[in-house]
Chains A and B, each alone.
Chain A
C-alpha cells in the first residue's frame, strides 16, 4: 500500500508468506481474478471508535435473525386452519386454535432448543431495530450523513422502516391473543383510510377479519420478501461504506483527506468477527435467561378476548402512543365517515415522521448550502441547531413512546392513567420546543467552554495567592494535540445575502429564495463560536503565561513554590 503510512517507529515486518493461504488465494484468483479488487480491501483501514460499532450490532443481529429464523421455519406452519391442540402444554390441551399457534407451541414445548431459538429470534429482532436507532442517532449527531453519504442515510432510513415492518409481520405470526389483538388494531387502521380503507382491508384479509389468509400472506412477506429487500439494502449500505471509507473523529494526524485506524486483515476481521460472536452470545444468553413473548400464556387468538397491557413491540410503541393520546375526532361528511382519531396518528404521522427523517440531510444542506465533502465528524456541540433538531424529534417520539405504555406507567408508578394522557397531550407540543431551545443553548455553552479551554488553558486545580492576597486558580495550556482537535472544524457554510441586481444590472429572479436561505443559514449557525485566529490564540497564550509568571514570581517570593513549581502541565493532566 503505497499511500499508507503508520505511526509505528519501523515499518511493519512482512511476515513469511503462508503457503496454504497463498495457494487458496491463487486458486481462486485463477478462476475469478479478484486480486485486483481485493488488494485494496484486504488491508483496508477502518477507524476505531466504540460509536462506529453500533451499526455493527444491527448487522450482526440481522445475521442472528436469519440463522434463528431459518431454524423456526422448519417447524412453523403458517396456517389459520382450526385444530384442537394436543401437544405438551397441559393448560391448553383440547382448545381450538390455528395451526400457526399450535406450531408455535410445538416449537416452544416439543422441539428441544425451539423455545431458545424463538426467544433468541425475538430478542435479536428487538436489538436489530434498537441498534439501528442508536446507530442512526450517532450518524446524525456527528454529521456523518453529510455529503457524500446522503444516499447511505436514505438506505439506512429504509432499513429502519423495513426492519420495523419485518418486526410487525414477525410478531403477528404466532397467532396468539396478543398478536391477534395487534392485527385487529391493524385492521382498524386500514379501515380508517378514506375511500379505499374498507376495500383494502377486504383485500388484505381476504374478506372479513380475521379470515384465514393474513398469516400465510404475512409469512411470505416475513421470510421472503422483506428479508430479501433488507439483505439487498444491507449489502448496498456496506458497499457504499467500503467505497466511501469510514468517517473519523478529528484528532492529530486525522484529516479530511485520510483515514487512520487498523487494517481489515487481521485487526478488523478479529474485532468485527469477534463482535458477531458477542452479539450472538448476548442474544443467546438473553434467550436463555429472559422470557420474551410467552405465547402459551396469552392463549390462542379470539376476537372476544383481550389482555391488559396489550402493546406492540417497542419500535411500534410510539405510533401506538399517538393513537392513545389522540382526541376522539371523527367527521361525517356527505354520509361518509372520516376517522381522524385513527387516520392521523397511525397513517399520517408515521409517514410524515419517516419523510422528515429521510429528508434531514437534504433539509440541512438546503439551509446551509454546504457542498463540501465531509469525512471528519463533528462533535454534536459544534452543530447546535442540528443537535437540537434531533433532540426535539427524540423528545417527540419519546413522549409518544411513554404514552404507548401509559397503562403500565400508571400501574407501576401508581399514577392516574387519565392525567398521564392529558399531560402528554400538552407535552407533545411543548416538549420538543423546550428540548430544542435547551439543547441549542447547552451546545453553545459547551462551545464557549471549549473556546475558554483553548484560549486560557485548563483548570489545574492549583490555587495561587497573589501578593495582594487575592486567590486565583492556575490555568495551564492544553496540549498541542488537544488544541488541534478542538480547532479542527469546518467553517460554517453560509449563504450570502443576495444582491437585488447583479453586476450587469439584471434583476435577480431568485432573490426571494436566496434571501430565505441566507436568513435560514444565519439562524442555523447563530450563536456558534468560531475558531480564533492564530494571532488571537497567541495573544491569549501570551497573556496567560504572563499572568502565570506574575503569580509564580509572587509565590517564589513567598518561598512556597517548591511543591508546585516543578509540576509540568502534562504531568498535572495525568492526575
Chain B
C-alpha cells in the first residue's frame, strides 16, 4: 500500500489535491443536504396533485395486475399475479416504469426491458402515488449517482464491490448472465446511472436488495463509476466477441480460426487453372 500511495501521489496529484478533494466532498455533501432535507419535510399542494394524477394513471395502466389500491393480486392457485406495491417506494416505480419493464407486455418469467410507455412526468406522478402507499426508497438525487467527480481510487474500490457483489449474475463485463427457469440477469450496457442505482436500492424482480445501510450510497456510486470507466475504456485487445468469456472465444476460434485455415488449405491443395493450349496442340 505504501508503495502505491507513494507512486500515486507522485504521479497523479499535486500536493493540494487531497485537500481539494476533501473540500469538494464537504461542499457536495453539504449542498446535497440543504437541497434534500427541506424537500422531504414539506408536502405541498403541488405534490398532492401529482399523487392524484398518478392515481389516475395507476388505475388505467397498473391496477389490473397490482389491484386498485396497489394491494397486489393473487391467482386462484395462490401465486402472485402482481405483487403488492405498498412500501416498494418511488425508486422502484422509477426503475420499473422508467426502463419500460412495467407495464409488462405479458406475464412471464421476468419483465423485460423495452420501450418506455410513460413520459417522465407521468412516471414521476406514478412514483409519487406508489410512494404515498407506504414508506420506501425515494428516487435518488442526481448528485448521488453523478460520477463525474469521482477519483480513480473510488473507481478501483467500485471494481472490488462490483466483483464481489455483481459479477456472479451480471458477468465480469456486465453483459448479463442466466438464472434458473428462463430468468436472467440483464446486461448493464447502456443502462443509465440512475437506473443502476435504483436497481441496487430496490432489488427489482429476482435481484437482491443492496440497501443503503449495507452498501453505502457512495459505494453504490463507486460501482457505477467503475462500470462507466470500463465501458468507456477502449477494447484494448480488439473486438470483445460479446464478452461472454471462453464460450464465445471457443466459438470464434472454430468459426474464424479453423474456418479460415481450412479455407486456405482447400485453396493450397486445389489445382490451378489449366490451359487448353498445351493439350494436343
Contact = CB atoms under 8 A, between A and B. Distances in A.
Interface of A: 48-54, 56-57, 84-86, 90-95, 108-109, 115, 119, 123, 126-127, 130-131, 134, 177-178, 271, 274-275, 278-279, 282-283, 286-294, 296-299, 302, 304-314, 317, 404-408, 410-412, 414-419
A126 B238 contact: no
Contacts of B4: 84-86, 93-94
B168 A95 contact: no
Contact of B1 (A84, A278, A291, A296): A84
A310 B153 contact: no
A101 B221 CA distance: 27
Contact of B230 (A50, A282, A297): A297
A53 B269 contact: yes
Contact of A294 (B167, B182, B236, B260): B236
Contacts of A127: 253, 257-258, 261
Contacts of B169: 308
A90 B244 contact: no
Interface string B149-179: 0001101100110011001111111001111
Interface in B14-41: none
Contact of B250 (A53, A90, A313, A411): A313
B155 A90 contact: yes
B244 A95 contact: no
B268 interface: yes
Nearest to A116: B237
Contacts, number: 219
Is the interface on chain B under 10, 10 to 19, 20 to 34, or 35 or more residues? 35 or more
B237 A115 contact: yes
Contacts of B270: 50
A84 B3 contact: yes
Most chain A CB inside 10 Å of its own CB: which residue of B155, B238, B240, B270: B238
A49 B172 contact: no
B238 A57 contact: no
Interface residues of B, dominant DSSP: helix
Contacts of A309: 171-172, 177, 244-247
A411 B172 contact: no
A90 B245 CA distance: 22
B265 A57 contact: yes
B170 A291 contact: no
B42 to A, nearest CB: 42
B239 interface: yes
Contacts of B163: 177, 299, 302, 305, 307
Contacts of A54: 262, 265
B249 A134 contact: no
A493 B56 CA distance: 86
A405 to B, nearest CB: 4
A286 B239 CA distance: 10
B159 A286 contact: no
Contacts of B207: none
Contacts of B246: 178, 293, 309, 311-314, 317
Contacts of A410: 178, 182, 184
B182 A415 contact: yes
Given A307-B167, A407-B178, A314 B249 contact: yes
Interface string B181-217: 1101100000000000000000000000000000000
Contacts of A419: 182
A94 B237 contact: no
B241 interface: yes
Given A298-B172, A308-B178, A291 B240 contact: yes
B273 interface: no
A308 B181 CA distance: 16
